[in-house]
Amino acid sequence: MDLDLKDKVALVTGASHGLGRATALLLAEEGAKVVVNYRSSAERADEVVGEIKDKYGIEAISIFADMSKEDDIMAMFEEIDEAFGRIDILINNAAYCPICQVADMTEKMWNYTLQVNLTGTFLCCREFVKRLLDGSQPGRIVNISSQAAFRGSTTGHAPYDASKGGLVSFTISLAREVAQKNIVVNCVAPGLMDTEIMAPALHKNRQKYIERVPIRRIGKPEEIARVVVFLAGKGSDYMTGATVDVSAGLAMH
C-alpha cells in the first residue's frame, strides 16, 4: 500500500530510542523527511538521523526539546519552519514514567509526569495545528497512549497511567475540533513492548508478563510503529478520534 508519505515532513518526539526511533525509521522508509526530537541524548538522536540518511537517502535532522517546557517546544517548531518550511505529520511519542506508589508519591513527581506526557502533547498539537490552519494545509497527528490508560498498574505507574488516559480523551476532543479542516487525529495504545520504560519490570518478571498476553510474547517497537505509520498516511483517511489497540490481545473488543 502506498501511504503517500514521500516528501512529507514528520516530527517524532522522543525519537532517539524505542518506539520513537522505530517510527522515525519506518517513516523515512516510506519517503518522509523526519525530525528526530530528543531530550537527553544528542548522540543517540544523531545516530538515528545518520541511519535514516545512510539507509534511505532521506533528509532528517535532530532537534532538542524538553517536552516539559513550553519555550523548548515553541523553539523546536520554529526550527522546523526554518529547516523545511512546513510540517505535515506529528507523532507524540515522548513520555516519562516514574516508579512510585501513590502513598509515597510527591506532588512534583505527579505534576512533572503529566507535564511531559499530557501537557507536552497538547503544546506540540497546538503549535502543529496553528501552522496547518494558517496555511489551510491537511495533516496527521498520532498520539501514543498505552494499555495502561485502561488497565492501570500495580507497580507504581499511576501518574503515567493517568496521563495516557488523558491522551485518549484529548485525541477525541482535538479530532472533533479539526475534523472539518482536513486534519485527522488518532491514537495508538500499545500493549507490552520491549522498551526502556518496560525494561526493569521485564527483567524481573518477564515470564509473568508474557503469560498475560494471548499471543504469548512481548511486542517489538517495530510492530507498533507499523500501525503508527499507517495512521500517518492516506490509508487512514476515514479515521479520526480513534484509539487503536496494538496489544497482542491484551485488549479485545
Residues 6+ apart with CB under 8 A from 10: 24, 27, 32, 33, 34, 35, 87, 88, 89, 90, 91, 232
Mark whether 96 is an active-site residue: no
- Three-state SS for 188? strand
Name the pairing type of β-strands 89-92 and 243-246. unpaired
Taking 3-state DSSP, the helix, strand and coil percentages for the chain, each rounded to the nearest 5, stand at: 50, 15, 35
Q: Catalytic one among 38, 96, 112, 160?
A: 160
One-letter amino acid of 122: F
DSSP label of 219: B
Is residue 9 within 8 Å of residue 35, measured between CB atoms? yes
Report helix angle 221-232 to 18-29, nearest 10: 50
CB burial of residue 128 (10 Å; 0-12, 13-18, 19+): buried
Cell of 139: 495533516
Active-site positions?
160
